[in-house]
Amino acid sequence: MTDLTEKDSPATGQPSPLMTDIARYIADHAEETLSLSALSRKFGRSPAHLQKSFKQVHGLSPREYQNALRLKNLKRALKAGDDISGAIYQAGYGSISRVYEQIDGRIGMTPSAYRAGGRGEEIAYATRDTALGPVIMAATDRGVCFVHFGEDRAILRDNLSKEYPQADIVPSPAAHSPELDLWIEALDDHISRNRPLPDIPLHLNGTAFQMRVWRFLMSIPEGEVKSYSDVAQGIGASKAFRAAATACAANNIAVLVPCHRVLRQDGTPGGYRWGLDRKRCLIEKERKK
């Protein structure tokens, strides 16, 4: 999950001191009930102005920002081995039923399974050598949740295990996941032989803001590129270009969620967690089609 700190609070120039103060206040009181009207009274702004300004700077409404912090705190507590009910109440959800209403699948599994590092979840994976080097693809029963490039298949497998340390991670031959073998073959065909990008079901796991960014990325036509500012504008958070860049960097599903199609404002590649050479190659391949 994105680290919700001042460095991720974008603006055209320097982050707004007031919006930074509000974000810090929410972080310090994330477990409490914070209404928009209460925040507006405390900080001397109308509810409408505060909501609009905060979302422009942070890419989330104050409520969404607080929910993201609560989720982060819950995930930290669960990973630390805290009692499930205690972790839920400590994070500020108020009741066990409300955590299921509000997390909206963003943990990617039930809180008990997440606390156990994915124990009880089955994740099938397959690896291939492609024109861009080794790639691993992994899927739950809901769709592909993990596509990473690397230099070594064993390291790729370790990275998957770190994401889901207690899950039942099984290699696919087809006995475990017949679709997965077809999906990674189709992805390899796209990368190595310029075949069409396959339409594969995805299991996205992220914050509300990250999900908005990733869905926008999937709407960028093949062969086109956008800037981080374009992405922020496209999701209705025009000043949140730095947060958009952070969301791109947090993407766990290479190519299928095409974060490689986003460049800096000056047209330079920017970053890519799987290497700038791969990013340039993917863009060039798509432009030639």
Q: Which residues are catalytic?
A: 259
Alpha helices in the chain (DSSP H): 17-28, 36-43, 47-58, 62-79, 84-90, 96-103, 111-115, 153-163, 178-193, 208-217, 228-234, 241-249, 276-288
Torsions phi, psi of 42, nearest 5? -65, -40
Q: Within a 10 A sphere around the Cβ of 104, how many other Cβ atoms? A: 12
* Residue with token string 């205690």: 86
Q: Within a 10 A sphere around the Cβ of 135, how many other Cβ atoms? A: 23
Two tokens at 179? 């679709």
73-66-10 Cα angle (round to 5): 105
